[in-house]
Amino acid sequence: MGSTPQPRRGNTRQRIQDVALELFAEQGYEKTSLREIAERLQVTKAALYYHFKTKDDILSGIFEDLNRPVEELLEWGREQPRTLETKKEILVRYSEALKAAAPLFVFMQENQAAVRDLSIGPTMKQRVVALVDLIKEPDAPLTDQVRCFTALFAMHAGMMALRDAEGDPEEKREAALEVAIELVTKAHDPGPTA
Amino acid sequence: MGSTPQPRRGNTRQRIQDVALELFAEQGYEKTSLREIAERLQVTKAALYYHFKTKDDILSGIFEDLNRPVEELLEWGREQPRTLETKKEILVRYSEALKAAAPLFVFMQENQAAVRDLSIGPTMKQRVVALVDLIKEPDAPLTDQVRCFTALFAMHAGMMALRDAEGDPEEKREAALEVAIELVTKAHDPGPTA
Amino acid sequence: MGSTPQPRRGNTRQRIQDVALELFAEQGYEKTSLREIAERLQVTKAALYYHFKTKDDILSGIFEDLNRPVEELLEWGREQPRTLETKKEILVRYSEALKAAAPLFVFMQENQAAVRDLSIGPTMKQRVVALVDLIKEPDAPLTDQVRCFTALFAMHAGMMALRDAEGDPEEKREAALEVAIELVTKAHDPGPTA
Amino acid sequence: MGSTPQPRRGNTRQRIQDVALELFAEQGYEKTSLREIAERLQVTKAALYYHFKTKDDILSGIFEDLNRPVEELLEWGREQPRTLETKKEILVRYSEALKAAAPLFVFMQENQAAVRDLSIGPTMKQRVVALVDLIKEPDAPLTDQVRCFTALFAMHAGMMALRDAEGDPEEKREAALEVAIELVTKAHDPGPTA
DNA sequence: TATGAATGAGGGTTCATTCAT
DNA sequence: GATGAATGAACCCTCATTCAT
DSSP letters for D66-78: HHHHHHHHHHHHH
Read off the pLDDT of each residue in C53-82 and give the average, rounded to a whole number: 95
Å between B177 CA and nearest CA of chain A: 9
D50 CB neighbours strand F below 7 A: yes
Read off the pLDDT of each residue in A9-34 and give the average, rounded to a whole number: 93
Interface residue D171 vs chain C (CB under 8 A): yes
Q: How many domains does chain C have?
A: 2
Q: According to the model, what pLDDT value does residue B192 have? A: 58
In a domain, C184, yes or no: yes
Confidence band of D54 (pLDDT split at 50, 70, 90): very high
**Helix, strand, coil in percent for chain C, rounding step 5:** 75, 0, 25
D95 in the same domain as D46: no
Residue B123, pLDDT > 70, answer yes
Domain with residue C67: its CATH number is: 1.10.357
Q: If we measure between CA atoms, which residue out of C107, C95, C116, C100 comes closest to residue C163?
A: C107
Q: Are A69 and A77 in contact (CB under 8 A)?
A: no
Confidence band of D7 (pLDDT split at 50, 70, 90): very low
Residue C74, pLDDT > 80, answer yes
**Chain A residues 12-41, Cβ below 7 A from strand F:** 12
d(CA C48, CA C18) in angstroms, rounded, equals 13
Residue A92, pLDDT > 60, answer yes
> Lowest-pLDDT range, B183-187, C102-106, D6-10, D65-69?
D6-10
Q: Are C148 and C136 in contact (CB under 8 A)?
A: yes
- Residue D57 phi/psi, 5-degree rounding, is -65, -35
Residue B87, pLDDT > 60, answer yes
C158 CB neighbours in chain D (<8 A) are 146
d(CA C161, CA C105) in angstroms, rounded, equals 12
Residue D168, pLDDT > 50, answer yes
Q: Which residue of A has its CA nearest to B156?
A: A150
Mean pLDDT, chain C, rounded, equals 90
C167 CB neighbours in chain D (<8 A) are 142
A170 in the same domain as A128: yes
Confidence band of C5 (pLDDT split at 50, 70, 90): very low
In a domain, D19, yes or no: yes
D162 in the same domain as D115: yes
Three-state DSSP at B94 gives: helix
A55 CB neighbours strand E below 7 A: yes
Chain B interface, mutation test: which of A116, A126, A142, A163, most B Cβ atoms within 10 Å? Answer: A142
In a domain, A129, yes or no: yes
Does D146 contact C176 at a Cβ distance shorter than 8 Å?
yes
Residue A1, pLDDT > 70, answer no
Q: If we measure between CA atoms, which residue out of B144, B139, B138, B121 comes closest to residue B190?
A: B144
Q: According to the model, what pLDDT value does residue A163 have? A: 65
Q: Measure, in angstroms, how far nucleotide F21 C1' is from residue B69 CA.
A: 37
In a domain, A27, yes or no: yes
Contacts (Cβ under 8 Å, ≥6 apart) of C47: C12, C38, C41
Read off the pLDDT of each residue in A36-61 and give the average, rounded to a whole number: 97
C68 in the same domain as C39: no
Residue C63, pLDDT > 80, answer yes
Residue B162, pLDDT > 60, answer no
Q: According to the model, what pLDDT value does residue B194 have? A: 47
Q: Are A154 and B146 in contact (CB under 8 A)?
A: yes
Its pTM stands at 0.91
Read off the pLDDT of each residue in A98-105 and give the average, rounded to a whole number: 91
D106 in the same domain as D23: no
Q: According to the model, what pLDDT value does residue B121 have? A: 95
Q: According to the model, what pLDDT value does residue D66 have? A: 93
Mean pLDDT, chain A, rounded, equals 89
Amino acid residing at A7: P
CB atoms within 10 A of CB C7: 7
DSSP class per residue in B154-185: HHHHHHHHHHH-SS-HHHHHHHHHHHHHHHHH
Q: If we measure between CA atoms, which residue out of B176, B149, B163, B167 comes closest to residue B107?
A: B163
Q: According to the model, what pLDDT value does residue C190 have? A: 64
Read off the pLDDT of each residue in C103-128 and give the average, rounded to a whole number: 93
Give pLDDT tens digits for D117-148: 999 999 999 999 999 999 999 999 999 999 99
Confidence band of B146 (pLDDT split at 50, 70, 90): very high
A152 in the same domain as A131: yes
Q: Which nucleotide is nearest to A56 (CA to C1')?
A: E16
C184 in the same domain as C92: yes
A115 in the same domain as A32: no
Domain with residue C47: its CATH number is: 1.10.10.60
In a domain, A193, yes or no: no
Q: Are A106 and A163 in contact (CB under 8 A)?
A: yes
d(CA C113, CA D160) in angstroms, rounded, equals 12
Read off the pLDDT of each residue in C84-101 and give the average, rounded to a whole number: 95
Give pLDDT tens digits for C26-58: 999 999 999 999 999 999 999 999 999 999 999
Does C110 contact D113 at a Cβ distance shorter than 8 Å?
yes
Residue B37, pLDDT > 50, answer yes
D180 in the same domain as D103: yes
Q: Measure, in angstroms, how far nucleotide F1 C1' is from residue D58 CA.
A: 33
B182 in the same domain as B86: yes
B41 CB neighbours strand E below 7 A: no
Q: Are B151 and B169 in contact (CB under 8 A)?
A: no
Contacts (Cβ under 8 Å, ≥6 apart) of A52: A13, A16, A58, A61
Give me the residue from D31, D109, D179 closest to C146, CB to CB. D179
D100 in the same domain as D23: no
Q: According to the model, what pLDDT value does residue A5 have? A: 47
Higher pLDDT, D190 or D16: D16
C153 CB neighbours strand F below 7 A: no
Q: Which residue of D has its CA nearest to C146?
A: D176
C145 CB neighbours in chain D (<8 A) are 175
Q: Which nucleotide is nearest to B46 (CA to C1')?
A: E7
Confidence band of B7 (pLDDT split at 50, 70, 90): very low
Confidence band of B168 (pLDDT split at 50, 70, 90): confident
C124 CB neighbours in chain D (<8 A) are none
B10 CB neighbours strand E below 7 A: yes
Nearest protein residue, CA measured to C1' of F15: C33
B75 in the same domain as B31: no
Q: According to the model, what pLDDT value does residue B176 have? A: 94
D153 CB neighbours strand E below 7 A: no
Mean pLDDT, chain B, rounded, equals 90
Q: If we measure between CA atoms, which residue out of B116, B67, B112 comes closest to residue B94?
A: B67
In a domain, A194, yes or no: no
Contacts (Cβ under 8 Å, ≥6 apart) of B108: B115, B124
Q: According to the model, what pLDDT value does residue D163 have? A: 65
Q: According to the model, what pLDDT value does residue B167 have? A: 77
**Torsion angle in degrees (nearest 10) through CA of D61, D67, D72, D75:** -100
Read off the pLDDT of each residue in C83-102 and give the average, rounded to a whole number: 94
Higher pLDDT, B184 or B167: B184
Read off the pLDDT of each residue in A117-135 and give the average, rounded to a whole number: 93
Residue D191, pLDDT > 80, answer no
Confidence band of C168 (pLDDT split at 50, 70, 90): confident
Read off the pLDDT of each residue in A93-113 and give the average, rounded to a whole number: 92
In a domain, D155, yes or no: yes
Does B112 contact A114 at a Cβ distance shorter than 8 Å?
no
**Chain D residues 24-43, Cβ below 7 A from strand F:** 42-43
In a domain, C2, yes or no: no
Three-state DSSP at D22 gives: helix
- Residue B24 phi/psi, 5-degree rounding, is -55, -45
Residue B161, pLDDT > 80, answer no
Q: According to the model, what pLDDT value does residue B1 have? A: 41
Could you tell me the residue range of the domain that residue C34 belongs to?
9-53
* Interior angle at CA B112, CA B110 and CA B113, nearest 5: 120
Q: According to the model, what pLDDT value does residue D164 have? A: 66
d(CA B172, CA A146) in angstroms, rounded, equals 8
